Structure 1
């Protein structure tokens, strides 16, 4: 057993497994059966690989949270969950419970923020944490001690070097970078006309969005573009930044994995 918390971004995993079953099965019943089996098998592999002392599956639940209230178009470009999945989530959660894994969900809080808060609180208590997800949003946490991200489908632990290679800057500046470029995955446009190369160059030089927004107008066309869209940049920054200090209402001890593999 390894003393660590394994956090599974449940729908990130399940919906990608379901997309694979779409290519192989024709009816919703067959597809759900295949997705359920694939999920159970994937979780078993993750438990065997990491052998964690603590584990939890965090689910997104449809509802209106602070991001949707602030910007109703947030994630509006995402495809609706297939009915066989939305109707079968309780079955999946029951299967996870049979494997010793509790499910965490809150209709008023994004799974992203629940996961970020869990990881941050565990890390603060010197409990190493692995987030299983393909979502690059969690990469902003990688500069923090005791937090790792694992891509199940690439069989790859994401490192700070991976962040540098992908974005050309350290993970602690990713939110500032996204404030300029936007993020199509969650339907945020950032500053019109600012692409990845320009954003990386600017953030590597100035580090923070706030520093850019305090520069004088009229000395650089690119800076002027950002200043003219400061409200867009600030909104994107706010929406992209994960919340890491939510009140959870439970103790990390309650996530202890009692079926630990020896």
Structure 2
């Protein structure tokens, strides 16, 4: 059975950032998260047999869950500055290596993961989800879907869920609906903890069954708590249930992971950030076909130009107005993948001189993204 590995991208980045020491290069730029990311790609090649690879990303802004419950994740602290600095670099590395990175406005990475899992299972693939997020425990199905904690280097399966929470993954959504989640500000049923929630779910399995037999659902205290928080319990279930309809269609074959050293694409960056261990790993074996164009020039010539980011419509229009009818314009697009049916454009670049090139970001959607030109502009 072939395997697809789905990376909970920001979940991994956060986990990696806090798990590793605060590494920096000689200029003071943080590199801990980047080191963890390089280690992950190397381990996928060496330690795990995977046939397909895709990165799932969160988008910037609110999701449909905020429409249901405005307080959802409202208690989250801002990400550390050193982490935010490294995010654009890591996202760029995903694109340079040619890996698919999927996201959709209004949804979370967990919903993307669940949707990819649905399509992968329909293709008969085994799914490995690289994440430590307990919200994804609802996806676990032995022999078909497993999770992998890349920091602890442990597989998370049905027994792991039972040992940790006392319930089977198929009951995890209803279990979370009662327990709630303080980290995401999911209310649950106040006053009922993990033990009480697991006891109820193991007996009844669903909220509907609990409330249909409320007079027999635990002690009088538990019954009162359930009665008082009935609306919040069902609300919480809507919040924790992952969506499987983020994409209408998906070409899983476009996520193929080949037997080659993808890190070789990043050798220049590793040298710039003084990541010695990553440099050694990048030099091992065959080079990958990187998602960047290599320009061959005569040795006596030096190709150099100024790269300019146009992050506002005013800047873009000013440059466009300077192009004459006689100028030859070179144009390229930056997309979320190589599949023309599902890929979305996130930016474009152009040049009309030998000394200057421009990049226009329009739909980059990740935590820490800087200003960019709106799609409608």
TM-score, structure 1 normalization: 0.89
- Helix, strand or coil for the counterpart of 1:46? helix
Task: Measure the CA separation in 2 of the matches of 1:197 and 1:69.
Answer: 31
Larger Rg: 2
* 8 Å contact kept, 2:119–2:250: no
Q: Which deviations, in whole Å up to 9, do the C-alpha atoms of 1:71-118 show, x marking residues without a partner?
A: 122122222223454454332122123334222222321111001111
Q: Which runs of 5+ in 1 are unaligned?
A: none
What CA RMSD, in Å, does the superposition of the two structures yield over aligned residues? Answer: 2.6
- Shift of residue 41, structure 1, vs aligned partner: 2.0
- Shift of residue 249, structure 1, vs aligned partner: 4.8
- Helix, strand or coil for the counterpart of 2:2? strand
Question: Structure 1 residues 145, 239: CA separation in 2 closer, same or farther (over 3 Å shift)?
Answer: farther
Question: Structure 1 residues 29, 12: CA separation in 2 closer, same or farther (over 3 Å shift)?
Answer: farther
Bigger proportion of residues as helix: 1
> With CA pairs under 8 Å and 6+ residues apart, which has the higher RCO, 1 or 2?
1
- Alignment of 1:13 onto 2:12: yes
Equivalent residue in structure 2 for 1:126, among 111, 124, 127: 124
* 8 Å contact kept, 1:140–1:173: yes
Task: Measure the CA separation in 2 of the matches of 1:53 and 1:198.
Answer: 41
- Alignment of 1:54 onto 2:52: yes
* 8 Å contact kept, 2:176–2:236: yes
Alignment-derived partner of residue 188 in structure 1: 186
Task: Measure the CA separation in 2 of the matches of 1:29 and 1:81.
Answer: 19
Equivalent residue in structure 2 for 1:213, among 178, 196, 211: 211
Q: Which deviations, in whole Å up to 9, do the C-alpha atoms of 1:135-171 show, x marking residues without a partner?
A: 0111111137511110111111011111111111211
Question: Structure 1 residues 130, 28: CA separation in 2 closer, same or farther (over 3 Å shift)?
Answer: farther
* 8 Å contact kept, 2:16–2:151: no
TM-score, structure 2 normalization: 0.63
Task: Measure the CA separation in 1 of the matches of 2:49 and 2:80.
Answer: 32
Q: Which runs of 5+ in 2 are unaligned?
A: 262-285, 287-377
Task: Measure the CA separation in 2 of the matches of 1:139 and 1:186.
Answer: 16
- State which drifts further: 134-143 or 20-29: 20-29
Question: Structure 1 residues 159, 144: CA separation in 2 closer, same or farther (over 3 Å shift)?
Answer: closer
Alignment-derived partner of residue 245 in structure 1: 245
Question: Structure 1 residues 37, 23: CA separation in 2 closer, same or farther (over 3 Å shift)?
Answer: closer
1:1-262 map, 5 Å: 3-21=2-20, 23-25=22-24, 29-31=28-30, 33-143=31-141, 146-216=144-214, 221=220, 222-259=222-259
Aligned length: 260
- Helix, strand or coil for the counterpart of 1:30? coil
- Helix, strand or coil for the counterpart of 1:109? coil
Task: Measure the CA separation in 1 of the matches of 2:240 and 2:35.
Answer: 33
Task: Measure the CA separation in 2 of the matches of 1:189 and 1:7.
Answer: 29
Question: Structure 1 residues 248, 11: CA separation in 2 closer, same or farther (over 3 Å shift)?
Answer: farther
- Helix, strand or coil for the counterpart of 2:62? coil
- Shift of residue 134, structure 1, vs aligned partner: 0.6
- Shift of residue 209, structure 1, vs aligned partner: 0.8
- State which drifts further: 2-11 or 143-152: 143-152
Task: Measure the CA separation in 1 of the matches of 2:26 and 2:201.
Answer: 49
